[in-house]
């Protein structure tokens, strides 16, 4: 394959440069250390998490069973299943109960997937019990996988896969990237005795990349002035001064917090050219924010009035993919989208969506990979190792007495990625990284 592909690589200078200076160093130098180093499992925290989850799971299981009618006939023929009775973990039985017995709206051909249940919330009390039950089951699955997969020294070693289509990392056995953002679950993972975790997160990196690509003056000004972009959007759309919202949020005002949460859903939904109906669904699934279609339409119009250069960038990306059947990120990563030629309008619409998404999400991932390669050049194994890469987050396990030295150095490398190796273009807004030092992945 190398003999066949190298000549093709030579014909694409930007891809060759990306391969030589990012993908190959990451794959051969960083990734093996990342997998071999691993993340430490605190067994005391794991037991505490299980002790919290198991009774809660059992409580919601009983709640589900309390809603099952006494004369309910199970949709199964197996004697064993009939003897066990209703199983709250069975999608088939839940589907039959929800749609055939309780007559709830069947949105997706009997599906009881999480997005469907979120849409059904409020239509019957059993729905919330199912969501909570499944949530605890999911947490217990994570905890059990960590117990099973940890090595004799107490470390788990996730496998990372560099996906060629998008350039993003995926992760399996266990999937660290899907770990729920619940404190008592994440705190099971951390650093071994004598070490701490240095946890770094690119702040709103996808929105910063959108600001750079679109050159939207309002968005660029917000990031250049180190403003809270979600607060800025909230202030503009809801007509409340930013300072008032900031004070109210600091004082614990739940209404102000909800307003910022809505603005966050609007920001992340609309920068990727989402319609009003899509925004309603996205806000509900991702942030549990309820929007009416009228609200979503009104806020979508207000958003694009404020950030008026973003639609121009959307049109530019869509035009490019129709002409070239591909889009290219700032550093030369190519995303081929030949499905733009399809006669199926839904397939074409998905290709147009990817033409907007890919250069943003690909560059966000590449910045994280770049920083990992650069840190690897200077971080000695005697000081610590890269323990995890989770979306926009980098987790380093560093000796406790060396953390003070390495924290600012790693942060500086991440905030100043070597973009000049890949492009002469300057990034037009500041790249900011938030960091913390902890014994646990808090």
**Interacting residues of 346 by C-beta distance below 8 A, sequence separation 6+:** none
CB contact set of 317 (below 8 Å; sequence gap of 6+): 327, 352, 355, 356, 359
Query: pLDDT, tens digit, for every residue of 151-204?
Result: 999 999 999 998 767 778 899 999 998 898 899 999 999 999 999 999 999 999
Task: Report the pLDDT value the prediction gives residue 409, as an integer from 0 to 100.
Answer: 97
Q: 73 pLDDT exceeds 70?
A: yes
Q: How far is CA 132 from the centre of its chain?
A: 21
Alpha carbons 42 and 188: distance in angstroms, whole number: 5
Given this model, what pLDDT does residue 431 score? Answer: 96
- Residue where the block lists tokens 């505490």: 48
Mean pLDDT of the chain: 91
70 has pLDDT over 90: no
CB 366 within 8 A of CB 329: yes
Predicted confidence band at 119 (pLDDT cuts at 50, 70, 90)?
confident
Residue-wise pLDDT tens digits, 320-364 = 999 999 999 999 999 999 999 999 999 999 999 999 999 999 999
What's the rounded Cα separation, in Å, for the pair 194 and 203? 29
Phi, psi of 391 (to 5 degrees): 55, -110
Q: Which DSSP helix (H) or strand (E) runs through 399?
A: strand 393-399
**Other CB atoms within 10 Å distance of the CB of residue 414:** 23
Q: How many residues does the chain have?
A: 442
| pLDDT for position 315 | 95
pLDDT recorded at residue 164? 67
> With bands split at pLDDT 50, 70 and 90, how would you rate the model's confidence at 81?
low
Integer Cα distance of 16 and 78 in angstroms:
59
Q: What is the pLDDT of residue 133?
A: 95
- How many alpha carbons lie under 13 Å from residue 320 in its C-beta half-sphere? 18
Kindly report, residue by residue over 271-287, the tens digit of the pLDDT. 887 888 888 888 877 77
Q: How confident is the model over 25-30, as a mean pLDDT?
A: 95
Q: Where do we find the tokens 């004070």?
A: 247
Residue 423: predicted pLDDT: 94
- Percent of the chain at pLDDT above 90? 68
Distance CA 382, CA 31 (A): 18
Structure tokens of 214?
């679109």
pLDDT in tens, 406-433: 999 999 999 999 999 999 999 999 999 9
Enumerate residues 6+ apart whose C-beta is below 8 A from 252: none
- CA 437, CA 169: separation in Å to the nearest integer? 24
pLDDT at residue 72, as a whole number: 81
Residue 310 has what pLDDT?
94
Please compute the mean of the pLDDT values over residues 311-317 and round it to a whole number. Answer: 95
């Amino acid at each position: 394959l190398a003999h066949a592909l190298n000549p093709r690589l030579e014909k694409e200078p930007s891809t060759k440069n990306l391969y030589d200076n990012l993908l190959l160093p990451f794959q051969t130098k960083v990734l093996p250390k990342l997998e071999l180093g691993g993340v430490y499992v605190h067994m005391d925290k794991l037991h505490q998490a299980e002790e919290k989850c198991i009774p809660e799971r059992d409580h919601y299981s009983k709640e589900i069973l309390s809603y099952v009618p006494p004369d309910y006939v199970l949709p199964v023929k197996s004697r064993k299943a009939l003897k066990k009775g209703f199983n709250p973990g069975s999608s088939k039985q839940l589907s039959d109960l929800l749609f055939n017995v309780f007559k709830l709206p069947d949105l997706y051909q009997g599906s009881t997937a999480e997005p469907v249940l979120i849409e059904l919330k409020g239509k019957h009390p059993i729905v919330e019990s199912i969501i909570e039950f499944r949530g605890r089951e999911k947490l217990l699955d994570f905890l059990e996988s960590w117990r099973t997969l940890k090595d004799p020294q107490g470390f788990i070693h996730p496998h990372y896969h560099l996906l060629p289509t998008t350039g993003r990392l995926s992760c399996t056995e266990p999937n660290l990237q899907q770990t729920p953002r619940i404190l008592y679950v994440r705190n099971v993972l951390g650093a071994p005795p004598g070490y701490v975790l240095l946890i770094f997160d690119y702040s709103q990196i996808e929105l910063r990349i959108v600001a750079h690509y679109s050159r939207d003056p309002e968005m660029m000004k917000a990031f250049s002035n180190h403003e809270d972009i979600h607060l800025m959007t909230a202030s503009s759309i809801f007509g409340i001064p930013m300072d008032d919202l900031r004070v109210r949020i600091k004082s614990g005002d739940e209404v102000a917090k909800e307003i910022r949460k809505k603005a966050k859903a609007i920001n992340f939904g609309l920068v990727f050219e989402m319609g009003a109906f899509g925004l309603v669904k996205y806000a509900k699934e991702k942030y549990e924010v309820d929007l009416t279609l009228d609200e979503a339409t009104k806020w979508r119009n207000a958003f694009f009035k404020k950030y008026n250069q973003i639609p121009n960038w959307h049109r530019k990306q869509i035009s490019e993919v129709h002409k070239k059947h591909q889009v290219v990120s700032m550093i030369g990563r190519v995303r081929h989208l030949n499905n733009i030629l399809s006669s199926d309008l839904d397939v074409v619409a998905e290709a147009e969506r990817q033409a907007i998404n890919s250069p943003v999400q690909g560059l966000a991932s590449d910045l994280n990979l770049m920083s990992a390669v650069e840190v690897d050049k200077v971080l000695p194994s005697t000081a610590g190792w890269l323990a995890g890469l989770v979306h926009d987050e980098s987790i380093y396990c560093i000796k406790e007495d060396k953390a003070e030295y390495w924290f600012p150095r790693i942060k500086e490398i991440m905030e100043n990625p070597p973009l000049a190796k890949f492009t002469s273009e300057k990034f037009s807004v500041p790249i900011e990284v938030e960091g913390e030092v902890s014994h646990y992945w808090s």
